[in-house]
Amino acid sequence: MTTSVVQTATPPSGRTPARSSDRSRAENRLGQKLVAPAIILMLIVTAFPMLRAIWLSVYDYSLTAPDDRSFTGVDNYVTALTDPLFWQTTGVTVLYMVVTVGIELVIGFIFAMVMHRVIFARGVVRTSILIPYGIITVVSGFAWQFAFSAQNGFVNGWLPFIGADFNWFGETPSAVIAICISEIWKTTPFMSLLLLAGLAQVSEDMIEAAKVDGATWWQRLWKVIIPNMRSAIMVAVLFRALDAYRIFDNIFVMTNGAQQTESISFLTYRQTIEQFQLGLGSALSVLLFLSVLLIAYLIIKVFRVDLAAARQEG
Amino acid sequence: MLKKMGVPLGVLVILLWCLLPVAWIISLSFKSEQSITSGNPGFFPSAGTGAGWDNYRAVWENDQFRRAIVNSIGISLIATLLSVIVATLAAYAIARLEFKGKRLVLSLALAIAMFPVVSLVGPLFDMWRAFGIYDTWPGLIIPYMSFTLPLAIWTLSAFFREIPWEMEQAAQVDGATSWQAFRKVIVPLAAPGVFTAAILTFFFAWNDFVFGISLTSTEAARPIPASLAFFVGPDPFNRPASLLAAAAVIATIPIIVIVLIFQRKIVAGLTSGAVKG
């Protein structure tokens, strides 16, 4: 099926410098026809539900009493924004994002450097780094939850300064650490592969020249390598930060939101799917969407991320 | 000196980091259920607590889990196939044609790649029930397609930009029919990109959890990640750990097989386009 369509697409696509306007109009039409299915599919599942969420968010609407739907204006937003729980979950979510992305950036960079330099066992390294990338997040959550479990895990036994019966999921800080570790383990490979692509862009000649001029390894790293792969770093941070802000799977599996580990995604999910509060849940959905937009905007503005470079990264 | 030691040491750290949790869950899956309930700390099963293949047998005999595997494989494969077809059309247009709205497509794809999935499940839950596709395969295939399209379009358009399309005309000048030119010249060049996009799409669909738990209610369509999370009931602190571990290992096997066979292609796909600077 792919083949036949691409083939019919072939004739008008030759690139000649002087194009007749007929031809460019045909090319325009064909291009739009080819991207139409993708656009429609992407919009069905995002734009349309998002509009519906905005519409639902101004109603008091619960699936347990669907006939009692009433228009309430911004009440749902007021309820959400004045609830300390909303701000607490937002705070925890930002904490998850900052901690995981920060640590992943450092570890991911070290991994990328190793993968860039390694000559022997290249296949083995790449294969093993792709396993956390491909593994189901829920499985990673289980693996780490059991690892941290006082009853059946090994972490307490291996860490010298922690008692054998320490309950990691009994208090907020340790539960957050456990969740972050699972998240970091699972997503560092993605970060390091994006950084590896950036490392490959840095010219070896430049590093060699710095070496000849007497720059130490540390100076070469900070003055030559990192500035030259800035756009790759920023794109990796942008992608991962927005991904980390949506953290959900690990929390669901490891604590189910207990001990104030709930993220904003988890709160939204609980309101809509578990408690059937579609009105309030939709208001939370809209707020979640707006906060993701805000974070994307801030990262792009503050770090001046070049999105043209982002497009190249895939 | 440090440089000489650094790389092998780094390799060792990477291997340990990546494989330790995998080894742990495999080890857990061989601990017996009784020893887990009474508490069995430590990395390896201690003496007399090994269960052999019992956990795997129990998981395999569980109808719910078998259904989930069938669902996951079916849904992920169909979503991957359809998504790659749609993405190939779009990526071809982006890489080769000049048309209005090209930037719009790319921005839209970027925006969707960053979309908070959870903020959609409420309205989708409602919509899917109205359309009658709640708790069915299409109910999951459609969102999977939409969310894998951005990655597939980007990967494919980066690959397609690299293809020397003039070769097709060169073949035609040399006397090949346009079908032959396409079949013998373009398809072999484009195949690796299509393939990479397919693998990355499959990973996404296989991994998805949010749609899996929100848009299904029975084993009619519930995929593996959702099924794993519901395997045990409500208490997250008291699970049949070794059974779950065995189920998790089974769910991971397809991923490991794909990684082992296609490692080179996946890395190329994730870093595609960036290398050329």
pLDDT of residue B62: 83
B31: which strand partners? B50
Residue A74: phi and psi, rounded to 5, are -90, 10
**pLDDT at position A95, please?**
95
Is B37 part of any domain? Answer: no
At a CB cut-off of 8 Å and minimum separation 6, what does A166 contact?
A: A150, A156, A174
Q: Give the one of B18, B39, B165 whose C-beta lies nearest to A129's C-beta.
A: B18
* A197 contacts B236? CB cut-off 8 A: no
B108: part of which helix (H) or strand (E)? helix B102-113
Query: Which of A194, A198, A311 comes nearest B106 by C-beta?
Result: A311
Structural domain contains residue B20:
no
Residues 178-207 in B contacting A (C-alpha not used; CB under 8 Å): 178-179, 182-183, 186-187, 190, 194, 203, 206-207
Q: What percent of chain A has pLDDT over 90?
A: 25
Q: B119 contacts in A (CB within 8 Å)?
A: 50, 53, 268, 284-286, 288-289
pLDDT tens-digit map of B170-229 = 888 888 887 888 788 888 888 888 888 898 889 999 999 999 998 988 888 899 999 888
Residues B137-176: b if buried by 16+ CB within 10 A, e if exposed = bebbbbbbbbbbbbbbbbbbbbbbbebebeebeebeeeeb
Please give chain B's pLDDT, 277 residues, in tens.
Answer: 455 677 888 888 899 999 999 999 998 888 887 777 777 777 887 766 777 788 888 888 888 888 999 999 999 999 999 999 999 999 989 888 888 888 888 888 888 888 888 888 888 888 898 899 999 999 999 999 999 998 888 888 888 887 888 888 888 888 888 788 878 888 888 888 888 889 888 999 999 999 999 898 888 889 999 988 887 644 555 667 888 889 899 999 988 888 888 887 777 777 654 333 3
Q: Do B274 and A313 touch (CB under 8 A)?
A: yes
Which pLDDT belongs to residue A154?
86
Q: What pTM does this model have?
A: 0.85
Position B188, amino acid: P
Confidence of residue A309 (pLDDT cuts 50, 70, 90): low
Identify the domain containing residue B189 by its residue range: 68-230+243-270
Full DSSP string of B137-206? HHHHHHHHHHHHHHHHHHHHHHHHHHS-THHHHHHHHTT--HHHHIIIIIHHHHHHHHHHHHHHHHHHHH
Interatomic CA distance for residues A166 and A174, integer angstroms: 10
**Residues B152 and B269: beta-carbon distance below 8 Å:** no
Q: Please state the ipTM of this predicted complex.
A: 0.85
Asked if residue B81 is part of any domain, the answer here is yes
**Per-residue pLDDT at A9 exceeds 70:** no
Report angle CA A232, A186, A188 to the nearest 5 degrees: 25
Is B27 contained in some domain?
Answer: no
Residues of A numbered 143-182 whose beta carbons fall under 8 angstroms of chain B's beta carbons: which are they? 143-147, 149-154, 156-158, 164, 169
- Domain contains B30: no
Element containing residue A59 per DSSP (H, E): strand A59-60
The pair of structure tokens assigned to A44 is 């069905």
DSSP string, A130-147: HHHHHS-HHHHHHHHHHH
Which CATH number belongs to the domain containing residue B190 in this structure?
1.10.3720.10
Domain boundaries, chain A: 83-313
Region A156-165: mean pLDDT is 81
Q: Which residues of B touch A114 (CB under 8 A)?
A: 6-7, 10-11, 13-14
B42 at interface of A, judged by CB pairs closer than 8 A: yes
What pLDDT sits at residue A313?
42
> What pLDDT is attached to residue B234?
47
A13-40 average pLDDT score: 76
The answer to whether residue A82 neighbours chain B at the CB level (below 8 Å) is no
Q: pLDDT tens-digit profile of B130-150? A: 899 999 999 999 999 999 998
- Residues in chain A within 8 Å Cβ distance of B266: 130
> CATH number of the domain at A83-313, out of 1.10.40.50, 1.10.3720.10, 3.40.50.2300, 1.10.10.10?
1.10.3720.10
CA-based end-to-end distance of chain A: 25
Of B124, B186, B252, Cβ closest to residue A139: B252
Residue B188 belongs to some domain of the structure? yes
Out of A11, A131, A248, the one facing B259 most closely (by C-beta) is: A131
| Partner residue facing B21 (CB), from A140, A197, A310 | A140
Q: Confirm whether B116 is domain-assigned.
A: yes
A187 shares contact with chain B (CB less than 8 Å)? no
Q: State the pLDDT confidence band at A314, using cuts at 50, 70 and 90.
A: very low
Cα dihedral A155, A160, A163, A164 sign? positive
pLDDT at B232: 61
In the structure, what pLDDT confidence band is assigned to residue A5 with cuts at 50, 70 and 90?
very low
Name the domain count of chain B: 1
* Cβ under 8 Å to B: A residues 94-133: 107, 110-111, 113-115, 117-118, 121, 123-133
Predicted pLDDT of residue B46:
72
B55 in any annotated domain: no
- The per-residue pLDDT for B143 is 93
Per-residue pLDDT band at A65 (split at 50, 70, 90): confident
